Amino acid sequence: MSSLRRVSKTLKSPKCLSLLQTYSKFTPFPSMFRLNDHPLELARACCSNSRQNSKENNVDLSQYPAERIRNFSIIAHVDHGKSTLADRLLELTGTIKRGHGQPQYLDKLQVERERGITVKAQTATMFHKHNFHGPNVAEAQDPPTFLLNLIDTPGHVDFSYEVSRSLAACQGALLVVDAAQGVQAQTVANFYLAFESNLTIIPVINKIDQPTADPDGVKAQLKSMFDLEPSDCLLTSAKTGQGLEKVLPAVIERIPPPPGHSDSPLRMLLLDSYYDEYKGVICHVAVVDGILRKGDKISSAATGNAYEILDVGIMHPELTPTGVLLTGQVGYVVSGMRSTKEARVGDTLYHSRSVVEPLPGFKPAKHMVFSGLYPADGSDFEALNHAIERLTCNDASVSVTKESSSALGLGFRCGFLGLLHMDVFHQRLEQEYGAHVISTIPTVPYIFEHSDGSKVQVQNPAAMPSNPKKRVTASWEPTVIATIIIPSDQRAFMKYRLPLKEIVVDFYNELKSITSGYASFDYEDSDYQEADLVKLDILLNGQPVDAMATIVHNLKAQRVGRELVEKLKKFIDRQMFEITIQAAIGSKVIARETISAMRKNVLAKCYGGDVTRKRKLLEKQKEGKKRMKRIGSVDIPQEAFHQLLKVQ
């Protein structure tokens, strides 16, 4: 028997197999290992694997057991300085260079940079030396290094789902409050999110450099509203750097290390994902128990699918391969997931060979606003489908179902967490995927009861019968509990129950403008209440346009109908025939406008024989036509659809 066959036979003996199985629980073999492999090959593969696992790209994660890890979020009301503070902490730890020329480093999306808001939570890993026990112990000479995972979260109410998901990976949070503005509506909402998740909360009073800063006043607010001790508050200016040196020591000393058991079977929580053209789906994960190594075989508790870990690492601050993630660490994995449907946020990933109890996951996102999304050019349906699939990988809070409209063709009905969320999703589709999209009037999920006692939830006005009075016996609309804080001389804290539809369109902007930007607003969903609802149809030359239908309160129908037809008249160009625009409830027309006919000859001014000029004008006209949607015989510019979103 050759030596190779002898080794192979020995390896296959029952005793050796059971030893291997026990051993492999702790030291996974490279994925290409098979029992018939040559022992030298096997040894080489194991060595290179462990080298790669322990130290890849100069980051040796084996030095960071759970007690040297801190996972924390930065939460705050919008604009109180989260992203700027995150920048300073990344600079302080040398994770990014000072003056890297890109403020709000973690706001990576174009839409975030343009609007100056955070819409996606972002994670970055930092390393920081800290002398835990004071200067008298031996550690003072060479203080230990801690691995800190920072998650910057959005402040706007529409993205609080991102915040609650981020908190699931953390044991603590920096609650940032503007020293001049004090506690605002999202400060309250975010405090309770963190408090209910049992996180250690470190209050940070930021922007103390402002002339109107009142840190003592804010300390008193934090004490009276949240029972946070004034002596626990850190005072900082993320702009001047004042007080920042106290932030990371507070994180390390006050926030507990992640719990979890390194010797238990692997359980990873899938926090987020996005699609990369070269690597496929990249998942952000938190290792709750056990150890993950490159080459491991993992399974998804949600889908049952199995994958091999092709790459694993941390965000330091960009993807940095480490070959391994230990208990309590937050990082990324690439596992060959092809479709975004496979990466379910909140899923538990575990070693395929083990049996584990799935982690609790996240509460499903509650969709407040629904709107139809259609390709501006009907033939682009597949391209839009592809773009939506890719984008929902990075924004799992959007619900998508296919629908069709007689006016706009094949499209999608999407559920969003709010109007800003809808707007941002729309903008990301255009900017990141080049998709040209028409959105229909946003609607909230209404409930209708029919005479036979059956109830239906209607997310698309087109799905509601034209004459509700005949077939519908009762209707209900969703409401919210709104919190409004006005930090004027006499600080007012108001709580109202409002119909959701009322706050969906422009309520926030109006509130800001009538209070000169001082009021802040947040809401949580509440019960349904009975309401007298009707479907308002829009007709162009007598033909109802399903994509423009909307559901409104009977009392408001007249005003909304008038506004809609006036808006349409303003944005539809005169065409070669007369166009009538009507708003109707059932067969009753409640508003009407007419656009008179004209003959538009773009060449009319081109007397003389300049062929190139004529051609240019015709090309321009053709381009203009592309941005039109033909409904029946009427060309409607995309802008008209956009304007309708703002009515009500």
Ligand X SMILES: Nc1nc2c(ncn2[C@@H]2O[C@H](COP(=O)(O)OP(=O)(O)OP(=O)(O)O)[C@@H](O)[C@H]2O)c(=O)[nH]1
346 sits near ligand X (criterion: CB under 6 A) = no
237 interacts with ligand X by CB under 6 A:
yes
Which lies closer to ligand X via its Cβ, residue 79 or residue 502? 79
β-bridge mates for residue 217, sequence order: none
Q: Does 63 bind ligand X (CB under 6 A)?
A: no
Q: What minimum distance in Å lies between the beta carbon of 506 and ligand X?
A: 19
CB within 8 Å of 313: residues ≥ 6 apart: 56, 57, 59, 319, 320, 321, 322, 323, 325, 331, 332
H-only helix segments in 201-263? 215-226, 247-254
- Return the H-helix or E-strand segment holding 479: strand 472-486
247 part of the interface to ligand X, by CB under 6 A:
no
Separation in Å, CA 53 to CA 30, 48, 438: 11, 8, 48
Considering only 52, 53, 83, 394, the residue that binds ligand X (CB under 6 A) is 83
Residues 242 and 88: their CA atoms lie apart, in Å, by 11
Q: Reduced to 3 states, what is the DSSP secondary structure of residue 332?
A: strand
Residue by residue, DSSP assigns 120-162 as S-EEEEEEEE--TT-TTSGGGTSPPEEEEEEEE---SGGGHHH
Instruction: State the number of binding residues for ligand X (CB under 6 A).
Output: 21
> What distance in Å separates the CA atoms of residue 309 and residue 151, rounded to the nearest whole number?
24
59 or 244, CB closer to ligand X?
244
Q: Is the distance from CB of 450 to CB of 444 less than 8 angstroms?
A: no
By CB under 6 A, residue 215 contacts ligand X: no
Among 206, 322, 440, 460, binds ligand X (CB under 6 A): 206
Q: Nearest distance from residue 500's CB to ligand X, in Å?
A: 23
Contact with ligand X (CB under 6 A) among 79, 91, 296, 342: 79
Total Cβ atoms within 10 A of residue 503 = 24
Query: Which phi and psi angles does 613 have, rounded to 5°?
Result: -65, -40
Which is closer to ligand X, CB of 239 or CB of 556? 239
Nearer to ligand X by Cβ, of 88 and 351: the residue is 88
DSSP 628: E
Min CB(207)–ligand X separation in Å: 4
Task: Identify which range of 78-86, 337-345, 428-436, 486-494 contacts ligand X by CB under 6 A.
Answer: 78-86
CB of 420 to ligand X, least distance (A): 11
Among residues 84, 348, 371, 475, the one that binds ligand X under rule CB under 6 A: 84
Does position 432 bind ligand X by CB under 6 A? no
Taking CB under 6 A as the rule, does residue 81 contact ligand X?
yes
The answer to whether residue 125 forms part of the interface with ligand X (CB under 6 A) is no
Extract long-range pairs of 592-597: CB within 8 Å, 24+ residues apart: 592/565, 593/565, 593/566, 593/568, 593/569, 595/569
Nearest approach in angstroms of CB 254 to ligand X is 21
Q: Determine the interface stretch with ligand X among 46-54, 77-85, 439-447, 619-627 (rule: CB under 6 A).
A: 77-85
Distance between CA atoms of residues 343 and 163, nearest Å: 19
C-beta of 37 vs 162, nearer to ligand X: 162
Token representation of residue 61: 């994660």
The whole-angstrom separation of Cα 420 and Cα 157 is 9
Query: Could you please report the per-residue DSSP string of 522-551?
Result: EEEEEEEEE--EEEEEEEETTEE-GGG-EE
For residue 82, state whether it binds ligand X (rule: CB under 6 A).
Answer: yes
Q: What is the DSSP letter of 79?
A: T
Q: Tell me the three-class secondary structure of 45-73, residue by residue.
A: HHHHHHHHHHCECCECHHHCCHHHEEEEE
Q: Using the rule CB under 6 A, is 155 a contact of ligand X? A: yes
User: Does residue 75 bind ligand X (CB under 6 A)?
Assistant: no
Torsion sign across C-alpha atoms 37, 39, 44, 48: positive
The minimum distance between CB 256 and ligand X, in angstroms, equals 25
Q: How far is the CB of 225 from ligand X (least distance, A)?
A: 19
The stretch among 55-63, 232-240, 276-284, 305-313 that binds ligand X (CB under 6 A) is 232-240
Which one among 68, 70, 207, 629 touches ligand X, defined by CB under 6 A? 207
Q: Which of 7, 42, 59, 76 binds ligand X (CB under 6 A)?
A: 76
Cβ-based nearer residue to ligand X, 119 or 548:
119
Instruction: Give the length of the chain.
Output: 648
* Sign of the Cα pseudo-torsion (445, 448, 453, 456, in order): negative
**Cβ-contact 501, 533 below 8 angstroms:** no
* Contact track, ligand X, 525-564, x by CB under 6 A: ----------------------------------------
CA separation for the pair 124, 280 (Å, rounded): 21
Of 80 and 284, nearer to ligand X (C-beta) is 80
Query: What is the smallest separation between the CB atom of 205 and ligand X, expressed in angstroms?
Result: 10
Binding status of residue 239 toward ligand X by CB under 6 A: yes
Nearer to ligand X, 147 or 244 (CB): 244
Which residue's CB is nearer to ligand X, number 76 or number 435?
76
Segment 99 to 118, residues that bind ligand X, using CB under 6 A: 104, 116-118
235 touching ligand X, by CB under 6 A: no
SS3 label, residue 630: strand
Take residue 284 and report the two structure tokens written for it: 């952000």
Q: What residue number has its CB nearest to ligand X? A: 155
CA distance 270 to 359: 10
The CA-atom distances, in angstroms, between 169 and each of 172, 258, 533 are: 9, 9, 43
Q: Which residue(s) pair with 69 in the sheet?
A: 147
Which is nearest to 314 in space by CA: 471, 150, 442? 150
Q: Which of 8, 63, 197, 210 binds ligand X (CB under 6 A)?
A: 210
Edge to edge, the sheet with strand 145-152 lists 122-129, 145-152, 69-76, 172-178, 200-206, 234-235
Does residue 214 interact with ligand X by CB under 6 A? no
* Rounded least distance, CB 78 to ligand X, Å: 4
We find the least distance from the C-beta atom of residue 605 to ligand X, in angstroms, to be 49
> Measured from the CB of residue 109, what is the shortest distance to ligand X in angstroms?
11
- The least distance separating ligand X from the CB of residue 209, rounded to whole angstroms, comes to 5
Nearer to ligand X, 262 or 427 (CB): 427
Output 158 or 296, the one with its CB closest to ligand X. Answer: 158
Near ligand X by CB under 6 A, which window of 71-79, 408-416, 544-552, 584-592? 71-79
Which residues inside 263-322 make contact with ligand X, applying CB under 6 A?
none
Asked whether position 512 contacts ligand X by CB under 6 A, the answer is no
Which residue, 76 or 188, is less far from ligand X as judged by CB? 76
Binding site for ligand X (CB under 6 A): 76, 78-84, 104, 116-118, 154-155, 206-207, 209-210, 237-239
